[in-house]
Amino acid sequence: MSRLRLFAALVLVAGMVSCAGTPEGSGGGPVLTTSSPAVVTTTGERPKRMFEPPYPYGTVQAKAPAVVDGMVPVVTHIPTDKPYVFITVDDGAVQHPKARELMIEAGVWPSVFLNTKYAEGHRDYFKELPVTVHSHTTSHPNLAGKGLEFQKHEICGNADFLAAEYGKRPTLFRPPFGNYDATTRHAAASCGFKALVNWTAAVNDGRVQFQQGDRLKAGDIVLMHFRTTFVEDFTAFLDRAKQDGLTPVPLEDFLG
């Protein structure tokens, strides 16, 4: 009997050791301990952007003023009773690597006015940005006082280039330095543009500058450039818009 009791005891101990080695339901896998990394789960939700679209972007909210007597209208401000502001970026001289990330994280789709001499050779860069491309002449000259053929060459030639590069002909035109005359407006109309667009505020060296007052107002069109200071300038605009209670929306939606 003593041998039987000893044998039974040994069997019982072996069974207890075997059960302790593999927890119930573990399938024989490793046992997590306090030093094991926690399992991270995600919901699939995107991070909240700085600005959320107040309406579906790409839907026309207002029409551009009419072309009269063969001259495009000059637009420097958008009449609106909504807290909207418009950001535009000119030239394209510096293709800053952070631009796309900043625009997407902010939820802001700028209107960009590109020169042929700066945009040429950089199609992939500008196509990846969440922007709408518009015209800023071929070589960035001061158009005021120039003849019709010269101005048409600069304006229409740039529009042709941008249409070939990006698959859509631009509808808005901005003259270099904001300078234009009646001939400029005639030339732009003959090239098929809806409006000549200037601005009411600008961003330079990380500072927002106002033509009137000390804040951004609803309907303001803001100018900045593709420069080495793109991050500082774009961030300054975003912060100022937020401070003044405004949401940046696409300019094209209000010049349909």
What average pLDDT does range 206-226 have in this prediction? 98
For residue 66, give the 3-state DSSP assignment.
coil
Alpha-carbon dihedral angle through residues 171, 61, 130, 175, given to the nearest 10 degrees: 30
- pLDDT 10s digits, 109-123: 999 999 999 999 999
CATH number of 74-254: 3.20.20.370
For residue 73, which of 198, 169, 241, 219 has the smallest C-alpha distance? Answer: 198
Structure tokens at 107: 């939820």
Structure tokens at 126: 């500008």
- pLDDT tier at 32, thresholds 50, 70, 90: very low
For residue 75, give the 3-state DSSP assignment.
strand
- pLDDT 10s digits, 43-101: 345 467 999 999 999 999 999 999 999 999 999 999 999 999 999 999 999 999 999 99
Q: How far apart are CA 174 and CA 153, in angstroms?
A: 15
Asked whether 250 and 132 are in contact (CB, 8 A), the reply is yes
For residue 177, which of 194, 202, 149, 208 has the smallest C-alpha distance? Answer: 202
Q: Determine how β-strand 207-210 pairs with β-strand 201-204.
A: antiparallel
Residue 168 exposure: Cα atoms within 13 Å on the Cβ side: 8
- Annotated domain spans of the chain: 74-254
For residue 213, give the 3-state DSSP assignment.
coil
- The model carries a pTM of 0.82
Q: How far apart are CA 21 and CA 248, in angstroms?
A: 61
Which amino acid type is present at position 224? M
